[in-house]
């Protein structure tokens, strides 16, 4: 098999850990696999480099930031190759530019456009392990670029897609994707598998195991992704497309949540065309990301428009709203920054009725008031008072029997 393995910063955080990674890589090769390894910078390095830059300049140029930050990964590839060679495993390291991970020129947030897989395939055929620096690429003019924080995941998936690898394994400090955050629900369970779609919902809703972009990439090119622990053996969680595994999929895969939401409403909005645009035009121009949106027609020919944003944007959004509400003759605005969002995620929802009612029943038994509800095909989200978040997550975990292995 051709396997791409990616090791994150904590997995290569010291010389000892790099040696342990080398042993894992060599063992995988010894089983007859061709192995490409993508590594992050040693933990803390990217942050330290960033801090140094900001000591010199308030706004360092993105090009120089990329030049600087790419050195973190360059250190790790050389050390890992040495560690591999020292245990008799042939290995070669390459920067992103050297294997021509071609990106656009959007420094600090570049996108991969093309990869030249020939060189890597040649080395693999000669029995080498190929070690590639994550997070970095090169633009057409030869400038070093980086892919955004956490970008090594994306490098790994992109390489796996280009090389048509059998699997892309992401080694990290957790042993897989869980039904929910184990810090909130003690008996949260590792999932054996989850679909790309579900993972995207779980990740974007706060269960941050993988960079979201890498999951989108994997889904687009149908690269099977596996999240595993660097520190313990185990099968991890396989993230794949729905068709392969539909029969075995549980109804609900997990519960995601975000604490940092704020809810804003414009109340008494005249019921005429153009009002939603009047509200969300300026919000979007201010680069404020809107999450849930709900609009309701009231009895007196006015609407209430309610939406949520991240807590950090609540002040800016409410200032904007005040003048907007005035302009359009609305009755006023309301702001509540003590709300959270809880979401039930599962592809099984598509084909089963009654999931929503079961969810609302569980919340009602805990006397949890639901402020907003939104749904998509594979997700039901509710906005609730922030201090009830944990009890809501626990109640739902029990109601949907997520602590039990699905058969």
Q: Least distance to Mg ion from the beta carbon of 9, Å? A: 5
**Residue 236 within binding range of Mg ion, rule CB under 5 A:** no
Q: Which of 4, 337, 357 is nearest to 163 (CA)?
A: 4
Count of positions on this chain that bind Mg ion (CB under 5 A): 3
Distance, C-alpha 39 to centroid of its chain: 18
Q: Least distance to Mg ion from the beta carbon of 289, Å? A: 22
Query: Closer to ligand ASP at the Cβ: 144 or 339?
Result: 144
Residue 151 partner contact from ligand ASP, Mg ion, none using kind-dependent CB cut-offs of 5 to 8 Å: ligand ASP
Query: Closer to ligand ASP at the Cβ: 48 or 122?
Result: 48
Q: Quick check: 76 and 18 in contact, CB under 8 A?
A: yes
How far apart (Å, rounded) are the C-alpha atoms in residues 193 and 331? 49
Q: Least distance to Mg ion from the beta carbon of 332, Å? A: 44
How far apart (Å, rounded) are the C-alpha atoms in residues 23 and 39? 15
How far apart (Å, rounded) are the C-alpha atoms in residues 313 and 40? 31
Q: Which of 105, 59, 214, 236 is nearest to 150 (CA)?
A: 214
Q: Least distance to ligand ASP from the beta carbon of 153, Å? A: 6
Q: Which residues bind ligand ASP (CB under 6 A)?
A: 8-9, 40-41, 46, 72, 134-135, 149-152
**Residue 250 within binding range of Mg ion, rule CB under 5 A:** no
Looking at 75-83, 117-125, 145-153, 351-359, which segment touches Mg ion (CB under 5 A)?
Answer: 145-153
**Residue 72 within binding range of Mg ion, rule CB under 5 A:** no
User: Which residues lie below 8 Å from residue 87, measured CB to CB, with a gap of 6+?
Assistant: 22, 23, 26
Q: Least distance to Mg ion from the beta carbon of 41, Å? A: 8
Residue 149 partner contact from Mg ion, ligand ASP, none using kind-dependent CB cut-offs of 5 to 8 Å: ligand ASP
First to last CA, the chain: 29
**Residue 8 within binding range of Mg ion, rule CB under 5 A:** yes
> Which residues in 255-314 contact Mg ion (CB under 5 A)?
none
Query: Closer to ligand ASP at the Cβ: 69 or 368?
Result: 69
Between the alpha carbon of residue 255 and those of residues 31, 359, 361, 381, the distances in Å are: 37, 11, 16, 10
Q: Least distance to Mg ion from the beta carbon of 230, Å? A: 12
Query: Closer to ligand ASP at the Cβ: 143 or 371?
Result: 143
Distance, C-alpha 266 to centroid of its chain: 31
Residue 46 partner contact from Mg ion, ligand ASP, none using kind-dependent CB cut-offs of 5 to 8 Å: ligand ASP
Place of tokens 């994306």: 154
Residue 358 partner contact from ligand ASP, Mg ion, none using kind-dependent CB cut-offs of 5 to 8 Å: none
How far apart (Å, rounded) are the C-alpha atoms in residues 311 and 318? 11
Residue 254 partner contact from Mg ion, ligand ASP, none using kind-dependent CB cut-offs of 5 to 8 Å: none
Residue 97 partner contact from Mg ion, ligand ASP, none using kind-dependent CB cut-offs of 5 to 8 Å: none
How far apart (Å, rounded) are the C-alpha atoms in residues 78 and 84? 10
Q: Quick check: 308 and 292 in contact, CB under 8 A?
A: yes
Query: Closer to Mg ion at the Cβ: 150 or 176?
Result: 150
Helix (H) or strand (E) holding 7: strand 2-7
Query: Closer to ligand ASP at the Cβ: 63 or 149?
Result: 149
Q: Which of 245, 233, 154 is nearest to 198 (CA)?
A: 245
Query: Closer to ligand ASP at the Cβ: 199 or 251?
Result: 199
Q: Least distance to ligand ASP from the beta carbon of 192, Å? A: 25
Q: Least distance to ligand ASP from the beta carbon of 214, Å? A: 9
How far apart (Å, rounded) are the C-alpha atoms in residues 36 and 129? 6
Q: Least distance to ligand ASP from the beta carbon of 227, Å? A: 14
Q: Which of 395, 383, 406, 400 is nearest to 349 (CA)?
A: 400
Residue ranges that bind Mg ion, judged by CB under 5 A: 8, 40, 150
């Amino acid at each position: 098999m051709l396997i791409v393995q990616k090791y994150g910063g904590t997995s290569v955080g010291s010389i000892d850990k790099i040696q342990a990674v080398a042993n894992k890589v060599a063992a995988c090769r010894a089983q007859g696999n061709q192995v490409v390894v993508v590594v992050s910078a040693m933990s803390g390095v990217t942050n330290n480099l960033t801090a140094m830059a900001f000591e010199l300049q308030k706004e360092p140029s993105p090009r120089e930031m990329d030049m600087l930050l790419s050195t973190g990964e360059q250190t790790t590839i050389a050390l890992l190759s040495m560690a591999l060679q020292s245990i008799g495993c042939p290995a070669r390291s390459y920067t992103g530019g050297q294997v021509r991970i071609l990106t656009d020129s959007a420094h600090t947030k570049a996108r991969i456009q093309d990869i030249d897989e020939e060189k890597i395939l040649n080395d693999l055929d000669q029995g080498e392990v190929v070690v590639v620096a994550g997070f970095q690429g090169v633009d057409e003019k030869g400038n070093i670029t980086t892919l955004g924080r956490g970008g090594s995941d994306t490098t790994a998936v992109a390489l796996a897609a280009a090389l048509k690898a059998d699997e892309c394994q992401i080694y990290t400090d957790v042993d897989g994707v869980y039904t929910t955050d184990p810090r909130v629900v003690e008996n949260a369970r590792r999932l054996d598998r989850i679909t790309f779609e579900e993972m995207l919902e779980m990740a974007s809703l706060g269960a941050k195991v993988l960079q979201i972009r890498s999951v989108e990439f994997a889904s687009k090119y149908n690269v099977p992704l596996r999240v595993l622990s660097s520190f313990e053996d185990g099968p991890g969680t396989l993230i794949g497309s729905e068709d392969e595994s539909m029969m075995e999929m549980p109804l609900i895969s997990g519960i995601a949540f975000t604490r940092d939401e704020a809810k804003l409403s414009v109340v008494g909005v005249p019921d005429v065309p153009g009002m939603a645009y009047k509200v969300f035009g300026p919000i979007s121009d201010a680069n404020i990301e809107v999450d849930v949106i709900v609009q309701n027609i009231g009895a007196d020919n006015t609407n209430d428009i309610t939406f949520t944003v991240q807590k950090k944007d609540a002040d800016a959004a409410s200032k904007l709203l005040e003048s907007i509400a005035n302009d359009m003759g609305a009755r006023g605005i309301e702001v509540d920054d003590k709300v959270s969002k809880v979401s039930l995620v599962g592809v099984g929802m598509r084909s089963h009725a009654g999931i929503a009612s079961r969810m609302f029943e569980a919340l009602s038994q805990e006397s949890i008031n639901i402020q907003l509800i939104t749904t998509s095909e594979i997700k039901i989200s509710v906005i609730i008072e922030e201090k009830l978040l944990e009890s809501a997550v626990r109640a739902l975990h029990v109601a949907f029997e997520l602590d039990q292995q699905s058969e």
